[in-house]
Amino acid sequence: MERRTLTDPVSKPLLATLRGERQSVAPLWLMRQAGRYLPEYRALRADKGGFLALATDPEAAAEVTLQPIRRFGFDGAILFSDILMVPWALGQDLSFGVGEGPRLEPALVGATLDGLTRAPARLEPVYATVARVAAALPPATTFLGFAGSPWTVATYMVAGRGSKDQGETRRFAYNDPVAFGAIVDAIVTMTIDYFARQIDAGVEAVQLFDSWAGSLSPAQFERWVIAPNAAIVAGLRARCPGVPIIGFPKGAGGKLPAYAAGTGVDAIGLDETIDPDWANAVLPEGLPVQGNLDPLALIAGGEALASAVARIVAAFPTRPHVFNLGHGILPDTPIAHVEQLIATVRRSA
């Protein structure tokens, strides 16, 4: 299948929206749409025996990426992978234990970045997955790649695991900003190349996930969220001009305008705590936004879901808008409620 070039006429609603063209009906995809709420995903993961085995098997990972497209017809397909692939390629060992979150070893709070042996070949299965998905997607579906933003990825690299307040990493950043800056710089460099390789293999837009951006003070947010993401945006634009970049700084709240201005992203994701009317008022005119349905409203369904959708759609009467959740879809989300969401959004024009 011949890959669409950036000079081809845009016939994909999601891609057009990310480039600043408002659609009469907001295009729709969901974060973590390829995941545990789908019975077909659970069956395939059980067969493969674990997350990392699944994510590094291009045939299986491509199948997982395509499952929600076949079932629901979303406007965007999001690559099935994980934000910790970059630290794995930087030389940390990555594991996913049963019933617990991911682990990285050695944790850099007690080790050095120079002690790691880079292993970029670990990312090759991801690019093979991208190529398989790109060849199989419907013509109108936009293919989204992703990576974790440097601050969020660094919190896992330093602590070796996730945490509720990222306290260990925040202390590390204050106590030794030079060492922490080196970790962040390594993530930036690897992420630019990672994105460029995804794009070369067939991805059409990318998203930077900053899941823990909300844990930082304004000055630290400027230093460890805005500046590194701006470096990725600039570096990727130099290598892959014209590819839209979505920034998703979860928990940024009142710092969203500074993030939009400072990073230069093409679109900005809004988590469920953001008032969409406020976002429409304070963000730069014409900047595409994405979000911001509460994942729990999707679980509730019925009138609660319908009213939440109506409020979000009404908040962006002229702004390009991609409908999405404010964070990832939860495992206990009923399939019927996803179907209700799609029908509600698509008749909202």
Backbone phi, psi, residue 117, to 5° = -105, 115
Residue whose entry in the numeric block shows the structure tokens 């995903």: 41
> Which of 41, 75, 82, 319 does the annotation list as catalytic?
82
Do 60 and 43 meet the contact criterion of CB atoms below 8 Å apart?
Answer: no
The pair of structure tokens assigned to 107 is 């944790």
Residue whose entry in the numeric block shows the structure tokens 């545990």: 36
β strands within 114-260, DSSP E: 142-148, 205-210, 245-249
Catalytic site includes residue 122: no
> Which of 37, 41, 127, 156 does the annotation list as catalytic?
156
The pair of structure tokens assigned to 130 is 């991208």
> Which of 4, 22, 36, 237 does the annotation list as catalytic?
36
Burial annotation 68-94 (CB, 10 A radius, 16+ → b, else e): bbeebebbbbbbbbbbbbbbbbbbbeb
- The Cα–Cα gap between 317 and 73 comes to 24
Burial annotation 200-223 (CB, 10 A radius, 16+ → b, else e): ebbbbbbbbbbbbbbbbeeeebeb
Backbone phi, psi, residue 109, to 5° = -65, -25
ω into residue 120 within 30 of 0, thus cis? no
Catalytic site includes residue 156: yes
Which residue, 192, 204, 183, is CA-closest to 109? Answer: 183
Catalytic site includes residue 197: no
Do 35 and 329 meet the contact criterion of CB atoms below 8 Å apart?
Answer: yes
Catalytic site includes residue 239: no
- The Cα–Cα gap between 140 and 341 comes to 20
Catalytic site includes residue 45: yes
So which residues are the catalytic ones?
32, 36, 45, 82, 156
